[in-house]
Amino acid sequence: MPEISTKWTSGAVAAYRQPDTRMLAEVAAGLSAPQKELPPKYFYDHRGSELFEEITRLPEYYQTRTERTLLEAWMPALIPQLGTRSLIELGAGSAEKSRVILSAMRSNGTTGLYVPVDVSASFLTLTANRLRHEYPGLAVEPIVADITEDFSIPHALPRPALFAFLGGTIGNFYPPAAIRLLSRLRAAMSASDRFLMGVDLRKDIGRIEAAYNDSQGVTAAFNRNMLLVLNQELGSDFDPEGFAHRAFYEPVNHRIEMHLVSTAEQEVRVPGIGFIHFAQGESIRTEISCKHDQASVAELFGAAGLRIESWRPDPEMLFALVTGVRA
């Protein structure tokens, strides 16, 4: 029996989730800023993860299917070329596209270790169990962690390892935070390891805005779900119907901004913080989604001690996969 399958067969989920005091501090800081702001990680309770899955199937939301096509075209060649023996995936969610990589590892006879890292424990546990069933012989070691904070990556990975950060989620980080995250990954990488990232590209603004203002209102429900998460976790009394979904492209910083706009003047009670006043039309920024090109990715990579090895956009230049190595 290969070393990895004895070493990595425990199904235990390590719970590194921050205590509520941390959430309370973040919410207090965010809601007292001149532009109220909440971190996008609070979209993702079980319902939020389901709503995001629904977003990925919307006709307007081109990202997920474009990335999937790129992965299907590239992974069967890239994985054997790299000899990948473990996959560490940040923000794994339902691991829909991880299967493309895991299947390429299996075809190459290198099925080893999969480490999905995600903030939603319930989604992660479900996914891990499914994958253990679908890929007999694959060791699955999920880590429940908030990737916007410090989290530990196991040292004893079968190598070469592939660190994957897909879905364009790097776009949800302000550049300094993006560089911190990439630097942390870089520190965990050895010379034979690779970093694989998906990025949403700069393009026609109408096309981008439509992806965040879908006609079925799924993105609006996803946005408002954050208020339900706060009510659930903190006992606040946000009325989701008192806030409207708004998403627009901010061209100076090349990013989508999602906001929840208070439809009336109102006070919201957050236990442990107090009453938060909202003027009519005042908003909470709930997410940024930065759009990139090769130069902006090279800049982020460079600041983190990485360099681009390959750059693979789709023919329509909607989305790109990029691999990085230690510079």
Strands, E assignment, the chain: 14-15, 36-37, 86-90, 113-118, 139-140, 143-144, 161-165, 194-200, 243-250, 255-262, 266-270, 274-278, 283-290, 306-313, 319-326
Cβ-closest residue to ligand AVJ?
289
> Can you tell me the distance from the alpha carbon of 291 to that of 86, in angstroms, rounded to the nearest whole number?
29
Region near ligand AVJ per CB under 6 A, out of 97-105, 110-118, 161-169, 233-241: 161-169
Contact call for residues 85 and 159 (beta carbons, < 8 A): yes
The answer to whether residue 118 forms part of the interface with ligand AVJ (CB under 6 A) is no
| Residue 160, preceding peptide bond in cis (omega within 30° of 0) | yes
Contact call for residues 121 and 13 (beta carbons, < 8 A): yes
Among 4, 38, 55, 113, binds ligand AVJ (CB under 6 A): 55
Region near ligand AVJ per CB under 6 A, out of 10-18, 67-75, 168-176, 235-243: 168-176
Count of residues in contact with ligand AVJ, rule CB under 6 A: 11
Give me the least distance between CB of 111 and ligand AVJ, in Å please: 27
Beta carbons within 10 angstroms of residue 95's beta carbon: 24
Residues written for the chain = 327
Pick 8 or 165: Cβ nearer ligand AVJ: 165
The answer to whether residue 169 forms part of the interface with ligand AVJ (CB under 6 A) is yes
The answer to whether residue 120 forms part of the interface with ligand AVJ (CB under 6 A) is no
Per-residue interface string for the shown chain with ligand AVJ, residues 205-234, x marking contact by CB under 6 A: -------x------x---------------
Among 167, 249, 270, 276, binds ligand AVJ (CB under 6 A): 167
Among 289, 292, 304, 320, binds ligand AVJ (CB under 6 A): 289
The H or E element containing residue 300 is: helix 294-303
8-state DSSP, 152: P
Q: Which residues bind ligand AVJ (CB under 6 A)?
A: 55, 63, 167-169, 171-172, 212, 219, 287, 289
